[in-house]
Amino acid sequence: MGTTKTVHILHNSEQPASVFSILESGTKNIHVIADGLFDLLMMKLSQHYTSKKQTKIESKGPRFELGDFCVKLGSVTMNQNFKGILIEVEYRPCVMANAVWGLLREFLQGLLGPTVPVQPPQHLMSRMNEIYTPIDTIYQYLEHFSAYRKVTGMRNN
């Protein structure tokens, strides 16, 4: 098929009934959000593709609620090897990244220390004025997971 394409399948415990799938094809990302049976279909489809060694990477850990914030501390493992810690902070009342960014930065600096520079994630840069949906969280996780995949050993984040 010429270029190689990668299909990522992700699950998020915040949306337990949904499956998120992102297809990377060159510079384009195409996503689909589906219900749980999508996993079964992908198993069926995988017979039709020569798949690389599939790696499974997950971020797992406690989840805290603090006021309207939801904080998740995930330890990232790739094929059972520990890779690092991912911190997810979600402020749930607001749906526009642009409006809420100052507030989030204040919270993050309170959490991680005032010296930590906080930048909006790559994925959100172009979407600061769009309505935030669960797939945006998934894109951010994918960004970080891909970074972990490239780096061998430990990585600070």
Partner 1 sequence: MNQAINVEQLNSALTSLRTVRSSVSLVFETLSNGLRADHGEDGKDKFLMELQELLNIVSNNLRDLEQTVNGLPIPVPFNLGNTTYLSQETTQDRQALYTQLVNSYKWTDKIHEYSSYAHTLLSQNSLKRSYINSGSTKRRGKLQSNHNVAPLQVDNVINNIDRSYNDMKITISRPFASNAVVSINLSHVLKAVVAFKGLLMEWVMVKGYGETLDLWTESRHHVFKKVTENAHAAMLHFYSPTLPELAVRSFMTWLHSYVNLFSDPCKRCGCHLHHTSLLPPAWRDFRTLEPFHDECKQ
Partner 2 sequence: MSAANLAPITATDSLSQALKANIIPNQEYLLQGSVLDSAVEVLLHRLRGLCDNVDAGTETFDDQEVCFSLRDPNQQAAPLMLRVRKALDARDMPFQLRYIGQPDLGDKSRPTVVRSSLDIACSGMLIEFLNELGCRIEFEYSVKGYMFRKGRMKITVSKVFKISQSSMSPEPISQSYLVELSVLAPQGQDAIGEDMRAFADQLRPLVQLDKIDYKRLGHMSVT
Residues lying near partner 2 in the complex (CB under 8 A): 1, 5, 7, 11, 13, 16, 19, 21, 23, 25, 30-41, 44-45, 47-50, 58, 60, 62-66, 135
Residue 79, phi-psi category: left (phi > 0), alpha (psi -120 to 50), beta (remainder): left
- Site residue total, partner 1 (CB under 8 A): 18
Rounded Cα distance, 155 and 44, in Å:
35
Of these partners, partner 1, partner 2, none, which one is at the site of residue 1 (CB under 5 to 8 Å by kind)?
A: partner 2
Of these partners, partner 1, partner 2, none, which one is at the site of residue 85 (CB under 5 to 8 Å by kind)?
A: none
Rounded least distance, CB 27 to partner 2, Å = 13
Longest alpha-carbon distance in the chain: 51
Residue 128, phi-psi category: left (phi > 0), alpha (psi -120 to 50), beta (remainder): alpha
Is 113 a binding residue for partner 1 by CB under 8 A? The answer is: no
